[in-house]
Amino acid sequence: MAANDIVSVQCIPMRLPFHHWTAPPLFAGRPRDRLDSALVRVQTADGTVGWGESYCVEPRAIVAVFETLVEPLARGKDAADQALIPAMQRTLHNLGRSGPVVHAIAGLDIALWDLRGKRERVPVHQLLGGRRRSRVRAYASLLQYYGDAGLLDRVVTRALQEGYTEIKLHERTPDAVKAARRAAGRGVPVMVDTNCAWLPVEAPAAIAAMAEHEPFWIEEPLWPPEDHDALARLSASSPVPLAVGENASSAVELSALIARASSRYVQPSVIKLGLSAAWALSRQCEDGPVACAPQVAFFGPGYLASLHLLAAQAAEASLERLYVELGHVPYGATVPVSRGWIDVPDGPGLGADPEAELAAARFA
């Protein structure tokens, strides 16, 4: 067996307790007090370990996907073979072109980038063509407060006092945007993620009602998100730029949105699509009317992979940082957020490994 051959692929669910200074928000109809993703640990024959991260809505499901599908296909393969991920995607395509299988492969893809960087002793941003900036601005991405003006005022003020200079809401009403704007003041970018709130016939009036409070963008405005024709029409008439992509079923779908310029911003998620696909989408945006602003709502190796992407891509964009109080902050000591900025790590691979308690599944 060659030194770079894969000997193991392990999936470690990561459930981080959080608090956002009020009652837990609802997720899939249930109160949510933990943020779920899955660490992906890949080891090669010479003992080198790479780390990735997969989107995870049900830990038992993602572990089963790795154990029964991903690990058997990856074991014994050359970790440096850039045909490995495309071959796995084709082999498993009849199990779905989105969802847990695709998310598992995305986590493996990130881990392979980390392995490659470690083997070549260079940071991932160098593998992507070189670092264009040494630090990246982060924006505070608030969870939903259901339009509570008092809570929005307090949490927006808190984030600004901690050094953040950009805010994102997960709200659906003009009054919520008004409350955040009042707290932030003029000139502070305030993005609004509506999580696919409106039918196409409802969206124009809803956006117009928010527009007077100067949102920087309206994110995921439409249900269903796959209605690309409706999105293109809305984007052409909207007084506020639109952002989409978190719910795209595949990189192919996002590529088509970029080619059509159906929104001002696209938001690939590396833990859903992989770093390879997200980087290709970022490159597609170069010198065009659509900007790449990755969705980064989690805290593991996907956070670092997105940071390297933003450091290397041509156009500057801010990194999303979910604004909550965590029971444990991954990379809090090695790659911290400080006064709303993050220094891009310059060590091999992603630049840092998960803490021992995460690697040992303490938060599984």
Domains of the chain: 5-121 (3.30.390.10), 126-350 (3.20.20.120)
Cβ 302 vs Cβ 323: under 8 Å: no
Q: Do strands 30-31 and 26-27 pair parallel, antiparallel, or not at all (unpaired)?
A: antiparallel
Question: What does the pLDDT look like over 333-349, one tens digit per residue?
Answer: 999 999 999 999 999 99
Question: What does the pLDDT look like over 282-338, one tens digit per residue?
Answer: 999 999 999 999 999 899 999 999 999 999 999 999 999 999 999 999 999 999 999
State how far the Cα of 108 lies from the Cα of 42, in Å rounded to an integer.
8
Helices (H), 124-274: 124-127, 149-161, 174-184, 203-211, 228-237, 251-260, 270-273
State how far the Cα of 116 lies from the Cα of 118, in Å rounded to an integer.
5
**Nearest to 155, CA basis, from 288, 20, 23:** 20
**Nearest to 54, CA basis, from 91, 16, 102, 22:** 102
What does the pLDDT read at residue 218?
A: 98
What does the pLDDT read at residue 96?
A: 84
